[in-house]
């Protein structure tokens, strides 16, 4: 593998070498209503063999970020700025032909709704085998054998027979398994999973999540796992990025972020969510207000209209000055380190029951 | 575990004091499937709900959980009489309403209201918020003290909306706000029972708690009973005093919150609870049992014979295929905790000596990794 040449300050959270490195990414769409700043200055790293979780509410820019990594945006309506370096190669400036070679080979994707990714007109088997033929030059027979092997691996019963089924003949859980088979068949270095289990039932979700984790052990791929569910993230990810309004507001290992969160938005997510072991007499603490508009994002800190801690910062910093997310572990918030710690321990943690 | 049975006890609210407001016995809905050409005839049926027993006490909140397609919404729509039952009995306040006509239903209808999952499609986009909230009162000829307009303003305030929003249209509101409009509309007729079908599932994580807290306020302060339908087990636990777990058209276990979440007996309840991804906040290692089922829920067109869970159950024996287990208070259950299973599990959710992993792909990968 190639070694990355990196400048100072562009280091992965844990200090080891990043396989995917995104720097100051900005994605804008021009719409009838104006410019949508879907992603606004996002930086993160993904390490080989590790899982980066991205959480955030809908519209926070999770999907746009990852479609951008895959080069799937229409250049007519969108502009992309910043840097995406995958295994030493710059992707923002890459040609469509180069990107096509990457997709399905080095980088693969699993979507929330397998029906949008699978064509209804071709058999499941053919759709799994084709990218393998295209990227490895394998014969039709070899590709079929490999596809059947993959279907078996992801738990499709009687894979040789089911190879000839069409997507509508599969249940929701089986379709998601087929998507995983299709994504992994070329042994990708990076797998992007965008809410892969949101549409599934909870018992099926548990099966699929464990399956993905076990397969990662075997294939050694890096995974970007996108979800709005903190519970799912805590089971799947090593590192975690919390997104709000097109920006990363907190970053750290999953342990760090979930056990000692530093950003008021992360606090809000945790205290608004009931838990199976929680105290039912304790009322939930919702995040007030509504998610921000991306056409007219709030000034300063994008969370300030909903934040209960602006007075702790004092003055008008929260409304005027955009807080920066430090490299490595940290949160984009004007509260100082000690405030973040004491406020969490004294005011937030007791509510988490 | 013994499968010795004790006599069935009637279900009822936990404290046993309140009389049931709603009671449902053997409730069944089969949707016919038509096929054939040129003459269409019935070729089968979706057994969406098949013999459900359920009670809701006055002011009580009962949760209904289960996986997609198990019949939760259909049950809710039967109870609110948006659907006609195929069989079974629905008794509301001592009155049999299973097949009541529109006219007979009229007085009851205002007392049972429904809140829907999708705050987008359940509100008429061409009506103002004021019209949406007041029309049930007009239709039912209800004249609140101080007039309809005043009542609408009160309701808007109660659900946390600005009364100045009276003349706005639904599309001007966010999902959470639209759900509040739905709640205000449901409250306009002073209901005694609200069937809430996945009221927060379509909302953003950061907004769900706002609506859950509002519904809780309504339930506690106004004494309105709830049938709370949801697939999120943590939210249902937070909201409901009692709970029914459904699988493929049947209630497989029912009991108070503690019995279901801490002392479950039905293997499916165990599997369901064990599948919930929980955020672990402290350093304690996970001490919950791990159960991973195989495959998906079978089709309700051809449900398995006997116990419907048997095709995915690790405890299944021959008896499970031939005899349907009745929903009863099996030995070891507390009062009002009923379980439909021939070979129930121990009443604990603690980790087992060995995980139950039925998924063949998972089992293979985990064996390899050892
Ligand atoms: N009008 C209908 N005609 C035919 N089948 C129906 C009809 N309505 C529901 N069903 C079927 O009945 C079963 C139960 O549906 P229901 O909507 O009650 O499930 P649910 O438990 O609410 O699921 P979800 O969690 O997905 O909302 C499903 O198999 C569904 O496809
Ligand atoms: N093709 C597009 N044109 C205009 N706006 C878009 C487009 N795709 C996404 N957006 C907007 O970008 C924002 C972020 O979207 P997305 O990344 O899909 O959010 P999520 O975090 O839910 O995945 C949203 O406001 C969305 O409406
Ligand atoms: S910067 Fe200010 S508004 Fe933003 S999260 Fe921190 S305290 Fe809240
Ligand atoms: S009756 Fe049999 S198949 Fe059904 S849940 Fe109990 S043990 Fe499993
Ligand atoms: Mg998305
Ligand atoms: Mg439903």
CATH of range B2-247; options 3.30.70.660, 3.40.50.300, 3.40.220.10, 3.30.360.10: 3.40.50.300
The whole-angstrom distance between residue A297's C-alpha and the CA centroid of its chain comes to: 22
- pLDDT at A321 exceeding the cut of 50: yes
Task: Average the pLDDT over B276-302 and give the result.
Answer: 83
Query: Which chain B residues have a beta carbon less than 8 Å from that of A283?
Result: 213, 216
A19-46 pLDDT tens trace? 899 999 999 998 888 899 999 999 999 9
Q: Element (H or E) spanning B65, and its range?
A: strand B61-65
Question: CB-CB: which of B205, B294, B362 is closest to A210?
Answer: B362
CA distance A266 to A287: 10
The pLDDT assigned to B29 comes to 97
> Three-state DSSP class for B336?
coil
Query: Which chain A residues have a beta carbon less than 8 Å from that of B234?
Result: 273-276, 278
- Give B72→chain A minimum CA distance, Å: 14
In a mutational test of the B interface, the residue from A60, A180, A181, A202 whose CB has the highest number of chain B CBs within 10 Å is A202
Q: Are B177 and B169 in contact (CB under 8 A)?
A: no
Query: Which chain A residues have a beta carbon less than 8 Å from that of B174?
Result: 290-291
Question: CB-CB: which of A58, A201, A206 is closest to B68?
Answer: A201
- pLDDT at B17 exceeding the cut of 70: no
The pLDDT assigned to B104 comes to 84
Query: Which chain B residues have a beta carbon less than 8 Å from that of A181?
Result: none
What ranges do the domains of chain B cover?
2-247, 263-276+286-369
Task: Average the pLDDT over A63-81 and give the result.
Answer: 89
Question: CB-CB: which of A152, A269, A278 is closest to B206?
Answer: A269
Q: Do A228 and B366 touch (CB under 8 A)?
A: no
**Which of A36, A109, A224, A249 for mutating ligand 2's site (highest number of atoms within 8 Å of CB)?**
A36
Q: Do B296 and A201 touch (CB under 8 A)?
A: yes
* Alpha helices (H) in A157-299, listed in sequence order: 159-162, 172-184, 202-219, 230-236, 254-259, 264-271
CB contact burial B39-58 (16+ within 10 A = b; e otherwise) = eeeeeeebbbbbbbbbbbbb
Pick the residue from chain B with its C-alpha nearest to A350.
B281
Q: Look up the ipTM and state it.
A: 0.88
Higher pLDDT, A117 or B248: B248
Task: Average the pLDDT over A310-337 and give the result.
Answer: 96
CA distance B317 to A347: 52
The residues lining ligand 3, judged by C-beta closer than 6 Å to any ligand atom, are A 264, 301, 303-304, 307, 309-310, 313, 318, 323, 333-335
A197-219 pLDDT tens trace? 888 889 989 999 999 999 998 88
Q: What's the order of all strands across the beta sheet hosting B87-92?
A: B41-57, B20-35, B87-92, B95-96
pLDDT band at A254 (very low <50, low <70, confident <90, very high): very high
The pLDDT assigned to A309 comes to 97
CA distance A72 to A103: 10
Kindly state if the Cβ of A292 falls inside 6 Å of ligand 2.
no
- Asked which of A1-10, A297-306, B71-80, B148-157 is least confident by mean pLDDT, the reply is A1-10
The pLDDT assigned to A13 comes to 44
CA distance A146 to A128: 9
How many Å lie between the centroid of ligand 6 and the Cα of residue A196?
21
The pLDDT assigned to B173 comes to 85
Name the average pLDDT for chain A: 89
Higher pLDDT, B8 or A190: A190
């Amino acid at each position: 593998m190639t070694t990355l040449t990196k400048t100072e300050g562009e280091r992965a959270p844990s200090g080891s070498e990043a396989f995917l490195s995104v720097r100051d990414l900005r994605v804008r769409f021009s719409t009838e209503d104006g410019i949508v700043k879907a992603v606004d200055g996002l930086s993160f790293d993904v390490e080989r063999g590790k899982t980066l979780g991205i959480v955030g509410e809908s519209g926070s820019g999770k999907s746009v970020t990852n479609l951008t990594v895959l080069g799937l945006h229409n250049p007519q309506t969108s502009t992309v700025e910043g840097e995406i370096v995958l295994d030493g190669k710059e992707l923002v400036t890459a040609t469509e032909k180069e990107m096509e070679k990457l997709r399905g080979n080095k980088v693969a994707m699993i979507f929330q709704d397998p029906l949008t990714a699978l064509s209804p007109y071709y058999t499941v088997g053919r759709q799994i085998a084709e990218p393998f033929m295209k990227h490895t030059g394998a014969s039709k027979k070899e590709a079929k054998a490999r596809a059947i092997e993959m279907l078996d691996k992801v738990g499709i019963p009687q894979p040789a027979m089911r190879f000839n089924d069409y997507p509508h003949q599969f249940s929701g859980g089986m379709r998601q398994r087929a998507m995983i088979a299709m994504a992994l068949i070329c042994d990708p270095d990076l797998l992007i999973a965008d809410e892969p289990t949101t549409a599934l039932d909870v018992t099926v979700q548990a099966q699929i999540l464990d399956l993905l984790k076990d397969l990662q052990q075997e294939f050694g791929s890096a995974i970007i796992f996108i979800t709005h569910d903190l519970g799912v993230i805590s089971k799947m990810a090593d590192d975690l990025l919390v997104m709000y309004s097109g920006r990363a507001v907190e970053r750290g290992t999953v342990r760090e972020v979930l056990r000692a969160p530093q950003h008021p938005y992360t606090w809000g997510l945790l205290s608004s969510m009931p838990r199976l072991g929680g105290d039912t007499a304790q009322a939930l603490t919702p995040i007030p207000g509504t998610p921000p508009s991306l056409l007219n994002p709030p000034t300063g800190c994008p969370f300030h209209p909903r934040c209960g801690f602006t007075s702790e910062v004092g003055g008008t910093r929260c409304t005027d000055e955009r807080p920066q997310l430090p490299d490595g572990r940290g949160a984009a918030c004007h509260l100082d380190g000690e405030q973040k710690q004491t406020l969490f321990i004294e005011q937030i943690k007791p509510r988490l029951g | 575990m013994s499968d010795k049975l004790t006599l069935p006890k009637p279900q009822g609210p936990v404290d046993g004091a309140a009389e049931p407001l709603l009671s449902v016995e053997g409730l069944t809905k089969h949707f016919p499937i038509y096929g054939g050409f040129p003459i269409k005839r019935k070729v089968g049926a979706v057994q969406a709900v098949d013999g459900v027993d359920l009670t809701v006490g006055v002011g009580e909140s009962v949760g209904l959980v289960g996986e997609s397609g198990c019949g939760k919404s259909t049950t809710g729509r039967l109870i609110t009489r948006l659907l006609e039952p195929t069989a079974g009995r629905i008794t509301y306040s001592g009155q049999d309403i299973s097949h009541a006509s529109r006219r007979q239903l009229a007085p009851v209808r205002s007392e049972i209201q429904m809140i829907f999952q999708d705050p987008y499609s359940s509100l008429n986009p061409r009506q103002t918020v004021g019209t949406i909230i007041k029309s049930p009162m007009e239709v039912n000829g209800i004249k609140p003290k101080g007039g309809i307009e005043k009542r609408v303003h009160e309701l808007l305030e109660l659900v946390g909306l600005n009364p100045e929003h009276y003349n706005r249209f639904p599309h001007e509101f966010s999902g959470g706000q639209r759900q509040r409009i739905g709640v205000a509309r449901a409250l306009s007729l002073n209901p005694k029972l609200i069937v809430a079908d996945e009221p927060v599932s379509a909302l953003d994580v950061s907004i769900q708690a706002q609506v859950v807290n509002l519904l809780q306020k309504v339930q506690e302060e106004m004494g309105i009973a709830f049938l709370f339908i949801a697939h999120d087990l943590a939210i249902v636990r937070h909201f409901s005093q009692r709970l029914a777990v459904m699988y493929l058209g049947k209630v497989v276990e029912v009991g108070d919150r503690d019995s279901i979440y801490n002392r479950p007996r039905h293997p499916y309840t165990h599997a369901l609870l064990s599948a919930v991804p929980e955020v672990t906040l402290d350093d304690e290692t996970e001490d919950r049992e791990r159960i991973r089922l195989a495959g998906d829920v079978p089709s309700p067109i051809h449900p398995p014979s006997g116990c419907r869970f048997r095709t995915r159950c690790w405890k299944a024996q021959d008896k499970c295929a031939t005899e349907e287990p009745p929903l009863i208070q099996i030995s070891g259950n507390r009062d009002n905790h009923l379980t439909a299973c021939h070979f129930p599990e121990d009443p604990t959710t603690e980790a087992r000596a060995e995980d139950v992993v039925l998924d063949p792909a998972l089992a293979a990968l985990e064996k390899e990794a050892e």
